[in-house]
């Protein structure tokens, strides 16, 4: 019986039955939804357009990568400070919202060419060329830093209370918020550990259902309503196409947004290594004769990532990358099926067009999302450790410790000391981008010394 439990799961080229595929796809949509919507809200981009762009970019990514990489494209937090800063800058003062989005779109589209160029370099000079620049000592701590910099978002969402409450009710609301988020978190964990067979693969769908039921009981018994609605889509219409805008050329946008693509390269590279580890682990357990050499497709992944930025940016979506949250979901559920991700992308595009569906998903209470985020964001950080373990990184090497330590402190410390942007000689450097660039350069410098020795 124990051996049967180990082989439950789907490899990239395997397709579940229709109803299982549907449920797995819904789970992937739920996982990507909170972060993607949050980026849209914080940058001022249209939420429905952002969701549509994530689905369309995912399908384009899967086609460009020849259905070999099970990755979901979503809005990236790495770009958030640059885009939000540009939208609020004096250079765009007096612009309408759509005009600001159009200017930012140009920088997003151009950032896609950075990833494509990196992918072409990898394809030309081989995987070793990127391994020298982005070894596990860089990609591992970058993945860890990304997860840990999002920890505050997770805890803040877990404790979120309804708006406009009287002062006397806030303490009680805070207690209920923690109760809802903890029940969501614990039920998700328990489902992933103790459920058997097919149901064991749906913890990230079942956990939020428990959380929503808890919030419904709280509303019925106390009158505290944790459910919410999306301001820019609340209307009586059933069907509403997303609002698409076209890029407006701006070198200011290029200077502000394009460099951030450098930070997403190690992030995206880390995702490929994560997939290689988990997919091949499942293949071994299923005794599959096929070798899934995902780590050799770094160049193809980066090209696909760049295409995703261009597609999303061209229609009015924020810049993005392959989602660690969705990889966490796949690692937990052992469902790496490409057809599931295609179905999830199509669902996202449908949801973006139907107002009631958008409102229903966005109505998920923030504490429920927070409970889920604690698990998922922690899993992103844990996968960084898995990368270094898989690559057998020598943790007693002075060089490795230096690279890992500085990336972690700059990335995580920059988030909590400066709110994400590190002031540096008159510039505002996004903490993840700064950590990635510093780690890459430090590793290269220390590697030169190693070669001479």
- pLDDT for the residue 435: 87
- pLDDT for the residue 233: 43
Concatenating the DSSP letter of every residue in 359-390 gives HHHHTS-HHHHHHHHHHHHHHHHHHHHHHHHH
Q: Residue 435: in which H helix or E strand, if any?
A: helix 431-452
Q: Give the DSSP letter of residue 409.
A: I
Among 401, 407, 418, CA closest to 381: 407
- pLDDT for the residue 230: 52
Among 86, 147, 131, CA closest to 391: 131
* Cα–Cα distances in angstroms (integers) from residue 432 to residues 29, 313, 388, 398, 441, in the given order: 25, 21, 19, 23, 14
- pLDDT for the residue 3: 44
- Phi/psi for 75 (5° steps) reads -65, 135
- pLDDT for the residue 2: 45
What is the helix, strand, coil percentage profile of the chain, to 5?
75, 5, 20
Whose tokens are 């599931």? That residue is 340
Tokens encoding 226? 């944790």
- pLDDT for the residue 185: 95
Burial 303-328 (b: 16+ CB within 10 A, else e): bbbbbbbbbbbbbbbbbbbbbbbbbb
Concatenating the DSSP letter of every residue in 129-173 gives HHHHHS-HHHHHHHHHHHHHHTHHHHHHHHT---TT--HHHHHHH
- pLDDT for the residue 263: 66
Please identify every stretch of the chain with a pLDDT value under 70, giving residue numbers as ranges: 1-7, 81, 198, 201, 229-236, 263, 361-362, 449-453
Strands 73-75 and 427-430 come out as unpaired
Residue 219's DSSP bridge partners are: none
């Amino acid at each position: 019986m124990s051996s049967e439990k180990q082989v439950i799961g789907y490899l990239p080229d395997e397709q579940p039955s229709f109803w299982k595929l549907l449920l797995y796809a819904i789970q992937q949509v739920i996982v990507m939804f909170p972060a993607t919507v949050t980026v849209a809200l914080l940058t001022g981009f249209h939420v429905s357009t952002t969701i549509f762009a994530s689905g369309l970019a995912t399908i384009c990514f899967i086609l460009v990568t020849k259905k070999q990489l099970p990755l979901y494209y979503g809005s990236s937090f790495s770009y958030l400070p640059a885009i939000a800063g540009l939208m609020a800058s004096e250079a765009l003062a007096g612009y309408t919202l759509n005009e600001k989005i159009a200017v930012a779109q140009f920088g997003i589209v151009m950032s896609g060419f950075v990833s494509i160029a990196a992918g072409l370099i990898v394809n030309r000079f081989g995987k070793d060329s990127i391994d020298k620049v982005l070894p596990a000592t860089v990609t591992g701590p970058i993945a860890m830093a990304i997860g840990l910099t999002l920890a505050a978002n997770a805890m803040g969402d877990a404790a979120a209370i309804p708006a406009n409450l009287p002062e006397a009710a806030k303490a009680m609301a805070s207690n209920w918020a923690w109760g809802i988020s903890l029940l969501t978190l614990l039920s998700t964990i328990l489902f992933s550990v103790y459920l058997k067979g097919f149901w064991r693969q749906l913890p990230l769908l079942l956990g939020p259902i428990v959380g929503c039921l808890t919030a419904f009981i709280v509303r019925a018994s106390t009158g505290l309503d944790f459910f919410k609605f999306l301001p820019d889509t609340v209307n009586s219409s059933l069907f509403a196409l997303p609002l698409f805008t076209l890029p407006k050329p701006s070198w200011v946008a290029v200077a502000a947004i394009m460099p951030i693509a450098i930070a997403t390269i190690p992030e995206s590279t880390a995702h490929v290594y994560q997939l290689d580890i988990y997919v091949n682990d499942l293949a071994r357990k299923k005794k599959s004769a096929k070798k899934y050499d995902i780590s050799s497709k770094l160049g193809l992944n980066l090209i696909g990532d760049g295409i995703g930025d261009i597609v999303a940016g061209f229609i009015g979506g924020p810049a993005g990358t392959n989602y660690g949250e969705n990889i966490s979901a796949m690692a937990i559920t052992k469902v790496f099926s490409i057809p599931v991700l295609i179905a999830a992308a199509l669902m996202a595009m449908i949801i973006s067009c139907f107002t009631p569906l958008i409102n229903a998903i966005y109505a998920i209470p923030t504490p429920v999302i927070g409970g889920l985020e604690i698990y998922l964001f922690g899993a992103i950080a844990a996968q960084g450790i898995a990368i270094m373990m898989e690559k057998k990184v020598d943790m007693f090497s002075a060089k490795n410790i230096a690279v890992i330590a500085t990336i972690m402190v700059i990335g995580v410390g920059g988030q909590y000391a400066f709110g994400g942007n590190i002031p540096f000689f008159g510039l505002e450097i996004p903490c993840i981008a700064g950590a990635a660039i510093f780690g890459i350069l430090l590793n290269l410098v220390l590697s030169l010394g190693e070669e001479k020795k």
